[in-house]
């Protein structure tokens, strides 16, 4: 028996099909044997015939101990269980081989893969890896083709631990590189995480500057004896207090995308929420001026500021106080910056990131106390005074005016007060607030009502005005009993599968569910349409924009429950953003989307539990907007100060290899704060601004605010090359002035007007 077991362990690896045939054959032979003396060998074969260990003696000793435990005087009952298990193993093997055969046949027939007749799963993986541009050596060592110079000689494979049968190739990267590339991260993390006492962080996939580069911590192994896996990690090793400290080698960096020559995207910075106090006075103007000068030094194009309805029209209807904003705008003009103004018809306070409290106007609150149905209401009757319900858009309940008329009067007052700033082009964009947080959505996730991420939220349609609209729509459809909200849609912090409405196959996709959701999202689109039609009149000749939030949690479910409660009818079988994009196209409005920095690498646990997909949502919204040809602006929804997040924003703002050359209209950084003003953080932000502007001679010497060259900062060679590239056809400047200014450089460098085939006309 010992000889048989040693033969089993020492058998060399063969083709997978041959191993499976051997397994089944050995199982059939064991059916004819009695007792338990071959049970251990059978169990080892069922596992796969390859349980590697340090030595065959240890394996044999383990087999004897296991056999003694299985073979007991109890007899038949204990010995009959392996027989049933063997039958199940046979069935599993036959089923697995049938699936493998179909996969291989499909790859040969449709994929033109050159697979041998008795190919196994390793051959399939190797073929797929080679097609993806990776190098796969005969011993299984795999690495990116661009990193052949970094792999070990001969493709040596190292065992992870002395008791593991897994073989992982370990490359030694150059010592001068830092960061993590996908080709190395898996190998390094796997090796280190298998060692006892090892801590290996998940570093950024982007190279950090020398001043911000984090040091990779040392690896501490237990005991004073050097393990085999320690030798293959590389780097220096010291022993302190009988603890081995392995200093990991530097990790190769992932090359970053070069944004030289990419389109110019202006960058704005959002001012603090409380920059204007409740008396409409500018708070700490001297300190703000210093900060704005610092932003100016980084070539920031301008600032964005909330113009709060609750401050300007605070006490009496149609009495507006713009004094604090006048002083702020004058300061911005003197610094030659641009302005983006936000018409903020919502309250501030109670949401994530709110550090001040700015309620709706007092006279609106008084009306709300006598008529609370002017606010959004949930199923339990709780009112949300964050903004006015869309049900009163055409109801004269605000001292004789409708809500839309109140918004229009406010916007007209702003335009009249700052007409000179519009005429001079200082105000480049006006963002119109259409809901909570200034976003076009229902307030379905109010923190003040107990909502916490990743709850699905609740429908907000239970005020009398929206219910009246629902009833009218249901009667017109011929189903008056549909004039109600869903009664099985859960609560604020429910999950989709816990409800009868949002679960897979739930009522959301039934006749009533489709009717209700169509009405619910139509109210949202109609509200945006009404307000933007008036905003277009008030701000004629100026770009207007609408902010859309990124509700990315539960995006991977069929119902997209969180989006449905927010008013975006976007289940897996319907594009819920196309109708919004079409409405914006009608008014030539830009879409400001606030989810461009989110990525699956962030909060992996939270995103996994919430089945979130921020990247999928971003590209769905971007494609919906670009499909109808509306410009896209963006801003970060969460604090953003690191290079990885900045690079994510850059990738979305300037899609790589886009055949149509599409890109963002502008980007707004949230927000101006002491953290942004810190030296290292600001250097990273300044680098981001340069890349948004596009690096290279053109962007370094162009003044984006007047589309003219600053010839004094250009060499003659660069100027000639840019003219050769055709920039003169896009940017107007007088060539005589340029040549006159650079005449000395021309004579000293020996350039002629026709040198190297370059001619200036």
**Residues involved in catalysis:** 439, 635
Q: How far apart are CA 218 and CA 233, in angstroms?
A: 12
Token pair for 646: 């900045």
- Tell me if 360 sits within 8 A of 449, measured CB to CB: no
Token pair for 526: 């109609």
Give the helix ranges, DSSP H, for 71-181: 76-110, 121-131
Token pair for 273: 């929420």
Residues in contact with 483: Cβ distance below 8 Å, sequence separation at least 6, in sequence order? 467, 470, 471, 473, 474, 475
Angle at 643 between CA 639 and CA 649, to 5 degrees: 70
Q: How far apart are CA 323 and CA 31, in angstroms?
A: 95
HSE of 608 in the Cβ direction (CA atoms, 13 Å)? Answer: 4
Residues in contact with 346: Cβ distance below 8 Å, sequence separation at least 6, in sequence order? 309, 360, 386, 387, 433, 435, 436, 437, 438
Cβ-defined contacts of 167-175 (< 8 Å, 24+): 167/140, 169/140, 169/141, 169/142, 169/143, 170/232, 170/233, 170/234, 171/143, 171/147, 172/234, 172/249, 173/147, 173/249, 173/250, 173/251, 173/252, 174/150, 174/250, 174/252, 175/249, 175/250
Strands (E), 443-515: none
Residues in contact with 486: Cβ distance below 8 Å, sequence separation at least 6, in sequence order? 459, 501, 507, 513, 516
Specify the 3-state DSSP secondary structure of 432: strand
- Tell me if 444 sits within 8 A of 487, measured CB to CB: no
CA distances from 236 to 66, 181, 192, 196, 623 (A): 42, 22, 15, 18, 50
CA distances from 338 to 418, 419, 731 (A): 14, 15, 21
Cβ-defined contacts of 536-541 (< 8 Å, 24+): 536/587, 536/588, 536/589, 537/408, 538/408, 538/411, 538/412, 538/414, 538/415, 539/411, 539/415, 539/422, 539/430, 541/422
Residue position matching structure tokens 């911005």: 332
């Amino acid at each position: 028996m010992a000889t048989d077991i040693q033969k089993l362990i020492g058998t060399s690896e063969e083709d997978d099909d041959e191993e499976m045939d051997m397994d089944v054959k050995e199982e059939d032979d064991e059916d004819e044997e009695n007792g338990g003396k071959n049970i251990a060998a059978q169990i080892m074969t069922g596992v796969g015939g390859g349980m590697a260990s340090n030595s065959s003696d240890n394996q044999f000793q383990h087999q004897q101990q296991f056999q003694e435990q299985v073979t007991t005087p109890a007899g038949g009952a204990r010995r009959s269980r392996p027989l049933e298990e063997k039958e199940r193993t046979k069935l599993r093997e036959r089923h697995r081989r049938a699936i493998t055969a179909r996969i291989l046949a499909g790859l040969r027939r449709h994929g033109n893969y050159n697979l041998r007749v008795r190919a196994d799963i390793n051959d399939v993986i190797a073929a797929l890896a080679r097609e993806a541009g990776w190098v796969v050596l005969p011993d299984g060592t795999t690495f990116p083709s661009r990193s052949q110079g970094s792999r070990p000689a001969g493709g040596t494979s190292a065992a992870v631990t002395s008791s593991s049968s897994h073989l992982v190739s370990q490359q030694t990267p150059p010592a001068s590189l830092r960061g993590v590339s996908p080709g190395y991260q898996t190998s390094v993390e796997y090796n280190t995480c298998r060692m006892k006492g090892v801590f290996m962080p998940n570093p950024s996939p982007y190279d950090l500057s020398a001043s911000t580069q984090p040091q990779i911590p040392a690896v501490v192994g237990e005991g004073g004896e050097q393990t085999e896996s320690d030798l293959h990690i590389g780097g220096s090793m010291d022993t302190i207090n009988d603890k081995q400290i392995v200093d990991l080698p530097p990790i190769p960096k992932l090359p970053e995308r070069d944004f030289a020559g990419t389109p110019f995207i202006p960058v704005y910075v959002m001012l603090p929420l409380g920059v204007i106090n409740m008396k409409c006075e500018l708070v700490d103007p001297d300190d703000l001026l210093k900060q704005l000068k610092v932003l100016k030094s980084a070539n920031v194009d301008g600032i964005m500021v909330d113009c709060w309805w609750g401050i300007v029209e605070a006490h009496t209807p149609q009495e507006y106080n713009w004094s604090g904003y006048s002083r702020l705008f004058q300061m911005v003009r003197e610094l030659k910056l641009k302005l983006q103004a936000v018409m903020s018809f919502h309250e501030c306070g109670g949401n994530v990131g709110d550090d001040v409290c700015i309620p709706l106007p007092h006279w609106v609150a008084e009306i709300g106390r006598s008529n609370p149905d002017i606010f959004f209401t949930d199923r339990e009757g709780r009112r949300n005074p964050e903004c006015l319900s869309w049900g009163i858009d055409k109801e004269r309940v605000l001292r004789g005016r409708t809500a839309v008329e109140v918004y229009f009067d406010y916007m007209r007052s702003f335009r009249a007060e700052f007409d000179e700033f519009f005429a001079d082009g200082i105000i480049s964009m006006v963002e119109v607030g259409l809901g909570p947080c200034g976003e076009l959505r229902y307030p379905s996730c109010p923190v003040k009502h107990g909502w916490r991420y990743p709850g699905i939220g609740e429908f907000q349609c239970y005020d009398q005005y929206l219910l009246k609209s629902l009833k009218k729509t249901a009667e017109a459809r011929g189903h008056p009993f549909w004039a109600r909200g869903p009664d099985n849609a859960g609560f604020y912090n429910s999950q989709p599968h816990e409800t009868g409405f949002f679960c897979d196959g739930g009522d959301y996709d039934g006749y009533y569910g489709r009717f209700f959701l169509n009405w619910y999202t139509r109210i949202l689109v109609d509200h945006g349409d009404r307000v933007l039609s008036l905003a277009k009149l008030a701000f004629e000749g100026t770009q207007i924009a609408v902010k859309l939030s990124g509700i990315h949690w539960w995006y991977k479910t069929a119902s997209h429950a969180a989006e449905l409660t927010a008013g975006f009818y976007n289940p897996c079988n319907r594009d819920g953003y196309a109708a919004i994009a079409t409405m914006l196209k009608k008014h030539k409005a830009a879409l400001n989307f606030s989810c461009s920095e989110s990525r699956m690498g962030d909060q992996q646990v939270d995103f996994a539990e919430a089945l979130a997909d921020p990247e999928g949502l971003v590209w769905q919204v971007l494609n919906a907007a670009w499909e109808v040809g509306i410009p896209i602006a963006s801003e970060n929804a969460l604090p953003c100060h690191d290079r990885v997040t900045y690079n994510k924003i850059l990738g979305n703002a300037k899609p790589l290899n886009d055949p149509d050359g599409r890109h963002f209209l502008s980007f707004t950084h949230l927000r101006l704060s002491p953290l942004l003003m810190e030296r290292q953080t600001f250097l990273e932000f300044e680098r981001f601004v340069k890349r948004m502007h596009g690096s290279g001679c053109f962007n370094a010497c162009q003044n984006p605010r007047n589309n003219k060259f600053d010839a004094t900062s250009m060499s003659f060679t660069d100027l000639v090359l840019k003219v050769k590239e055709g920039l003169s056809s896009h940017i107007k400047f007088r060539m005589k002035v340029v040549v006159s200014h650079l005449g000395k450089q021309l004579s000293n460098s020996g350039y002629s007007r026709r040198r190297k085939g370059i001619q200036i006309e």
